[in-house]
Every structure is written in structure tokens, then in C-alpha cells.
A and B are shown apart, each in its own frame.
Chain A
Amino acid sequence: MAQIELTGIERVFTLGDSEVHALHELSVSIDSGEYVAVMGPSGSGKSTLLNLLGLLDRPNAGTYRLEGRDVTTLSPDEQAEVRRTRIGFVFQSFHLVPRLTAAENVALPLMLAGIPPAERHARVAQALKDFGLETRAHHRPDELSGGQRQRVAIARATIMRPAVILADEPTGNLDRSTGQDVTHLLEDLNAAGVTLIVVTHDPVMGGRARRRLMMEDGRLLHDVREPAPVP
């Protein structure tokens, strides 16, 4: 059974008196541990797809099964629970809370999950160490470089050990070499078994994924699979 199963997804936005089909009759299934790049021009619906996958948005029609469970009909609180435990987000603009230190930002999901402080500290310290941030633990985001910020964000996305990581242009605000570092970091996570779904404009990054979903006008244009990763 596929980890993610979308069937007949419709997402319609009403702009003034015209209707825009951001997603139209979209059906796709993604297995656990896959590395998927969602690509396409602006307005092709790839961000909408990512928001739907992350339960930040609801489809107008169609069903979304995550790990066999229909999640479109869940209550907002139940969806929040799914986001907290199963899904990690990585954003183009990092979305770190500016007044909190790196460690506190990483600890946010644990805090929201109500995990006691002692366990929280241990897990945050371990995560910061894993991502090479132990010396930056008590720095605020504005004292960190772009690459460090995205690493903090990735540490935060993975601290709850989610099953799926959704990354929206994770290297969009980074220069080439730090962008590559971040890409490698994400790929390492994928190699450890986490499903990685990346929305990107960058054909180089898209080319590294084993599977590419090419979107256009809210439809899936191509679904390209490659048998083996590029070494």
C-alpha cells in the first residue's frame, strides 16, 4: 500500500468572479521512502499540491490517504496532530521565529507535542549535533548564515521523526554551494528512510530526484521515474 495516495483531487480558488483550478483531477501515489521532485512553471499548482500533502489546505473534491487513513475528513485538531507527528516542513524562507534561539526553534515541535523539557533538551542537543550546529545553539536566526538557518529549519522538521518531509524550494534562498549542502542533508534523511517531496524550479535539484512530477495548469503532465539514484 502506498504511503500517500491522492485520488481525483480538485482544488478551486475563486478570484473575484472567476474560478481558478489550481489542481484538477490529480491522482498520484507515493511510496514510503521515495524521493520525489515536484516541478513545473509558476502557477502550475505545485505549491498547492504541497500544501494539500501537508494538510495545510483541503481539496474541494477527491480523497487523500496518508498511511492508509483518509485525512481529508479529519477535524482541524486531528489534522494538526498528523502534521505534528507525521510531517516535517522545510520552507524556502526558513520560517524561523526571530526572537527564539536556534535551539528553541528546533524545540518548537517538541514543545507543541507536550514533551517534557528534560527529554526535549536531550533531543534538541542531539539534533543540533547531527546537523553541525552545536556551537550555534544559542544564536538567534539573524546571527546565523543562510545555510545555518536552513539547517536549523531541517533539524526542526526532523526532530519529531516524521514519515514525510515536504520541502518548498529549500535551496531557493541559498547560494550554490550551501544549497548543495542542504540538498545533501535532505538526501541523507531520505536515504535513512524518510519520504522526501521537494518542490523546486531548479532543474539540477530536480534531476537528482529518483522521481519527478512535472506539473502544468494543475494537472500532472509527466511522472518520470528513474531506477537508480545518480551517485
Chain B
Amino acid sequence: MTPADTLRFATRAASGYPLRTALMVLAMSIGVAAVVVLTALGDGARRYVVNEFSALGSNLVIVLPGRTATGGFGLGNLVTSTPRDLTVRDAQALLRAPLVTRMAPLSVGNSEIAWGGRLREAMVVGTSGDYVDIRAFRMAEGNFLPREDLGRATAVAVLGTKIRDEIFGSEPAIGRIVRVGDRRLRVIGVLGKTGQGLGMNTDELVFVPVATAQAMFNTNNLFRIIVEARSRDAIAPAKQQLEDIMRLRRDGELDVTLITQDAVLGTFDRILGALTLAVAGIAAISLAVAGILVMNVMLVAVTQRTAEIGLLKALGATGRNIRLAFLTEAALLSLAGAITGFALGHLGAWGLRLAFPVLPAWPPDWAVFAGIGTALTTGILFGVMPARRAARLDPVQALSRR
């Protein structure tokens, strides 16, 4: 019996009992569809969170003064006790790292902003012109801070959208001179609405050049330095380069802490990835159940077709012929179920995306392959036993059945 004939014979056998085949395919397809939809949901949630984090700006390394890790007993530890300040010079030095594209120092303080008799408490952030690109902010009006020497204390300010609304109301803000603390600054831009990020509500911030802020608060300290690495893969080596630079500047002692955005992101990625796997596992149980169903259906088929099997043996079919025919039939049922389930699952994921547009509910490739693979494997595995039973039937007894 040629493989093509076996396939044709099995197809005819499967299509010869349409109800049984339809139910079987349905059971298998529900299992596969469950895997596809649930992993789409899980992976969609993971991607949603990752996207939200990426909105912070991508590939960031944040440098903060001080050290969180407890150092061991060493010469450096003996000599110094207080961490040195993080300065604008440090920030500029960090740009020497080859894997770093952009850098923005942050100097933060509380002050007040006043214009036209209105006065408001506001957090003032001193930074550089690159900050807007690192954080991928959108400007509502005007421009962000000028790209200039970090030592220049230009008298300009960029307002968060909420500050602008509360101080200026419906009047235009660009070009107005506002008082921030003891300084008079010209408003050159307004940020678009962004919301929460890095623990600060950007809409309620006033941005000024870093030198202006340091003069205002009478300090040389930086609150943070935000560094952008060339790419996601470059984050870890860039962090190493930054540490080397800082260590060099601090006589061999690393008294700053570097946090990668990736570390935070990675944690979420792992948690939600594990969740997706767990959900896929639960859905896979339904596939195993479908596999048992395949076995059951095939066992019934063997009983139903006992006379036919006897006849085939009388016509000279070998045990192998019959085993292959039944195994092929089980595989065909599973394949049809897997394909239908794949289509159903994608339909379900499409429905999810339609219902929740923010959720990128695309089933991951591995889940699709795993789902279909498991369906085929269970179908065939559970098809082996009935096929063997069919092949072992005694032809005399099989033929005596009507």
C-alpha cells in the first residue's frame, strides 16, 4: 500500500463518518484555540507593560549618587565615608563612553512659579536639551531647552501642561516672562500631556537649564544623570563603561549606583512571561483531554469497523497496512483540529484586540507552534493504541461480525 493510498483511504474513512469527525475536530480545535487565545492574552499583557515602560524612553541607564550595596572592607572604605556629589562634570564625562548616545543631567528642587498675580508651588527640574529626546516627550508649543554648554545659565523655562494651564489659563504662554524662585525666565515651550514617569508627574514640572537650576538652588549636586545607550543590547556593556568612567573619576571607588531600565523591564517581562506560560500550560490540559478523546473515537472506530478490518486482512492487508491507516486517520483528525483551532484562536485574538485596542493581543509564535505540535503529538500518540488493536484483530472473528 503506497503512502498516497494510505492517506486517501484514511481521508475517506474520516469523511465517511462526518458527525464523529466534526465532533473530534471541534474538541481538538477548542484545545488549540484555547492555547492560542490565552497566550495571546498573556503575551498581550506582557507587551502592553513593556510598551508602557518603553514609553519612559528607551535603553536608559540612570546614575544616582551614593551606593546602595554594602562594600567590603578595603582601603577605599577606610579613607572616605561620605559619597562625593554627582556633578555636571561627571555628567559630561559620561558622554565619553562609546556606547552612550545621549545624556541628560537632572537637578531637582522645589520652588514657586508666578505670573500675572498667580503663584504656584512647582518642582523645578534642571536638565539639558537632550532630555526631551531621551524621554521621547512631545512638545505642545514652542521648543524644549536649547542645546548649549551645560555651564550656561540661560534664563529660559519650559512648562508642563498642567502648570501652563493653571498659570496662564487660556492666554498664550510662549514668550512671557515668569518668575521662578528669585529668577525671571522666559517661557520658550510647553510640553505635551505625558503623565506619570520616573516617579514625577511631568505635567506639573518646570524645566530650566541645569546651570540655572543649580544657581537657583545654590548647589553643585545633580539629583540624577540619565544616560541613553546605543541599543537595547548595548545597555549592559554601556553600564560597564559608565562604571569604569565613574570609578576613574573617583580614584577607584565606585560611589554611584547605576540602575538600568532593562532590569526593571526584565523583571516584568519575566513575571508576565511566566504567567503566559502558566496559562498556556492550563490550556494545554484541554489538548491532552482532546488527545484522550481522539483515542476514544479511534477505539470506537475500530469497533465500528471490525468487519472492515477483517475484510482488509482477508484481502491481504498486513498488520502494518492497517496500523498505518488508522494512525493516519488519527493524525488527520488532529491536523484538521489543529488547523481549525489555529484559525479559531486567531479569530478570538482578533476579537480581543477589537474589544481592548490597547492590548496587543497577538499569540506568540512559540505558542502557536507548541499548540499545534501538542495537538498533533497527542492525537498521534493516542492513536497508536487503537491502531495497534485494529492491526491485531483476529480476521476470523472480525469477519464473523456483521
Contacts and interface: CB of A to CB of B under 8 A. Distances in A.
A57 B5 CA distance: 27
Interface string A82-109: 1111000101010101111000100011
A95 B307 contact: yes
Interface string B1-33: 110010001001100110000000000000000
Nearest to B319: A76
Interface in B188-239: none
Nearest to A97: B308
A56 B313 contact: yes
Interface stretch (A60-68, A110-118, A122-130, A198-206): A110-118
Contacts, number: 70
B316 to A, nearest CB: 2
B152 interface: no
A103 B311 CA distance: 16
A81 interface: yes
Contacts of A57: 395-396
A83 B319 contact: no
Contacts of A51: 396
Interface residues of A, number: 29
A81 B13 CA distance: 24
A77 interface: yes
A56 B399 contact: yes
A137 B54 CA distance: 69
Contacts of A99: 12-13, 16-17
Given A57-B396, A91-B399, A77 B319 contact: yes
B1 A112 contact: yes
B243 to A, nearest CB: 72
B397 to A, nearest CB: 10
A156 interface: yes
Contacts of A56: 313-314, 395-396, 399
Interface in B93-146: none
Contacts of A77: 318-320
B325 to A, nearest CB: 10
Given A57-B396, A114-B2, A109 B318 contact: no
Interface of A: 51, 54, 56-57, 76-77, 80-85, 89, 91, 93, 95, 97-100, 104, 108-109, 111-114, 156, 160
Given A56-B313, A113-B316, A156-B315, 18 more contacts: A56-B396, A57-B395, A77-B318, A77-B319, A80-B319, A81-B316, A83-B314, A83-B316, A84-B315, A95-B311, A95-B314, A99-B17, A108-B312, A111-B5, A112-B316, A112-B317, A114-B1, A114-B2
